[in-house]
Chain A
Amino acid sequence: MSLPVMGGYLVLGFAFGLLAVSSGIPWYFTTIMSLVVFAGSAQFVLVGLLTKSAPLMSIMVTILLVNSRHLFYGISFIGFFRTMERYRPYMIFSLTDETYAILSLVRNQNIPEKEKRELSFSIAALDQSYWVIGSTIGALFISFIPFDTSGVEFSMTALFTVILIEQLKSGGHLSIAAAAVVSGTAFLLLFGAQGFLLPSLFFMLFSLLFVFSLGRRRNVV
């Protein structure tokens, strides 16, 4: 069941390895990042921040906001992971977007609990191994056979674009995406590439809270 993820993680991992090493990060740190951070989009963002010598504090806040969506994956798996026994810590650690998507299918399968547990664990572990192997091969490849990789950073843009399309297809609001792009671009013009990410993320967070409170007031009255 982890097969659909295999191609994606191997290739994206490869692209991540290329990008990290051509941004000046040694290959072994690429592998370590994929082992201990294991968060696709956040790792791409992290490489960008490192290249810009961002302060550690803004790295922390940015990763916090970029990965905040993982909070919500956990919330929907609280009951499911209670049956994971000794695998539970690893299952929580390795809950990426793709693994979450596959496990939400496994959760609803009608199979014995032990089998479901073993299956879920092997999916999570295989997904991470594809990611680690892909990024290590990419990092080693570019370390030993240097070639002009300019433009490979667009794989990050392409990945985010695809994720956004999938989010919109599964019920995400186009208006929110449009508001985020417009306000993000405005902040970019205002603050420049170095400092616009955090203001943009906070602006959208508070805007959503504002919209929520407006909606609730209307319902109550």
Chain B
Amino acid sequence: MSSSYIIWAIVISALVTIFLRALPFILFRSEKAGSEALDFIAENLPVAVIAILIVYSVSHVSFSSFDGWIKEAVSIGCVVALHLLKKNTLLSVLGGTAVYMAMIHLGF
């Protein structure tokens, strides 16, 4: 991984992020300037994006064998259970990651 590649990637990511954060303030002068379609996307796209990112973050899994996906499935299950029971983001993230790392290091 070359430094110039990393630098360009950081510059592009920073500019895109700033562009997205600043655009509403440039485009819209009043609070209710969004179109209906925009409002609908605003309300519903984030759920879809995050759900896809979950799949993305475990995209190394393989469905050809049980071992290929069970660690991920169990750990996600732990995160969901912890979060529904304790409602503490930090605990859910740390707990789930600890379970996953434990399974890997114990050689499952």
Contact = CB atoms under 8 A, between A and B. Distances in A.
Contact of A168 (B38, B47, B63, B101): B47
A9 B25 CA distance: 26
Q: Please classify the interface of chain B as helix (H, G, I), strand (E, B), loop, or mixed, using the class held by over half of its residues.
A: helix
A92 B37 CA distance: 24
B40 interface: yes
Interface in B11-31: 12-14, 16-18, 20-25, 28-31
Contacts of B42: 69, 71-72, 75
Chain B interface extent, by class: 35 or more
A67 interface: yes
A212 to B, nearest CB: 5
Interface in B30-74: 30-31, 33-34, 36-38, 40-42, 44-60, 63, 72
A95 B52 CA distance: 22
Interface of B: 1, 3, 5-10, 12-14, 16-18, 20-25, 28-31, 33-34, 36-38, 40-42, 44-60, 63, 72, 75-76, 79-80, 83-84, 89-90, 92-94, 96-97, 100-101, 103-105
